[in-house]
Structure 1
Amino acid sequence: MEAVRIRRELLEYLLELARDFYPNEFAGFLRERDGVFEEVLIAPNPHFGSSSAFFDTWMLPYDESIKGTVHSHPGPSPWPSQADLNFFSKFGGVHMIIAYPFTEDSVRAYRSDGSRLGIEVVE
C-alpha cells in the first residue's frame, strides 16, 4: 500500500489538537516539504462543531506546499463520511482523519477518491 510520510512531531501535535478540540472536530491543511508532511495550517475564521468543521478555503494564502488536509472525528470511526468524500474530491491531495480516542492507531489517510493510504511516521 502506498504511504504518506509525516513527521512524528507533527503527528503528535495533530493528536493533541484533536484531544484539545474534543468533543468538536478540528480541521487544517497539511504542508509538505521533500515528500514529508511537516506543518499544519489552520485556516482563518474556522467553525469547529461537534459534527462538522468548516473553513473558507478562499481565505487561504496561495501556498504550493499545501498538499493535504487533516480533520478529527469525535467518534471512533476513522472512515470518511459522504461530506468528507465530497470535500476530498474538490480539494485534492491527501486527507487524514484522526478518530477518537486520538491515538496513532486511530489515524487514517486517504486519496481524494477515498481509497486508503498507509502512513509512515518519520523522525
Structure 2
Amino acid sequence: MSHAAFTIKAFALYLMALGASLVFAPDFMLPLFGFAPTSEVWIRVLGVVVFNLGWYYWYAAVSEARPFFAASVFTRVFALLAFAGLVLTGFASPMLALFGVIDAAGGAWTWAALRRDRRFFH
C-alpha cells in the first residue's frame, strides 16, 4: 500500500465513524461540537452521505486510485474555505470550521504522501 493510500484509508475511517454517529447518535455527537441537538431528519441524511463518502475513500485507497487521491486534496482544502466562509458570514457556528481544519489537515497529509510516493515509486 502506498503512503497516500494509507492516508486515504485513515480519512475513510474518520468519515465512516462521523457518518455513523450522525445517523445513529446525532444528539450525542452534535453537542460535543457545540451544535444544538435536533430531531430534524437532515442530520441523519447527512450522516448517510458522509458514511457513503467514506466507502468511496476506502475503495479508492484499496485500488490505489491516485487521481482520486490528488482530487481529494483540493476538495478537502475547499471544505475548509467553504466552512470558514459560512462561519464568517454568520451562517454557522465557529465549531464548523473545526471540521474544515480536519479536512484540510487530511488533505495536506495526503498531498505530502503523494509527493513521498513519487520519490519512492518512480
User: Does the alignment reach a TM-score above 0.5?
Assistant: no
Indicate the TM-score class for this superposition, using the shorter chain for normalisation: under 0.3
Q: TM-score, normalised by structure 1?
A: 0.25
Q: TM-score, normalised by structure 2?
A: 0.26
Between Structure 1 and Structure 2, the one with more strand by share is: 1
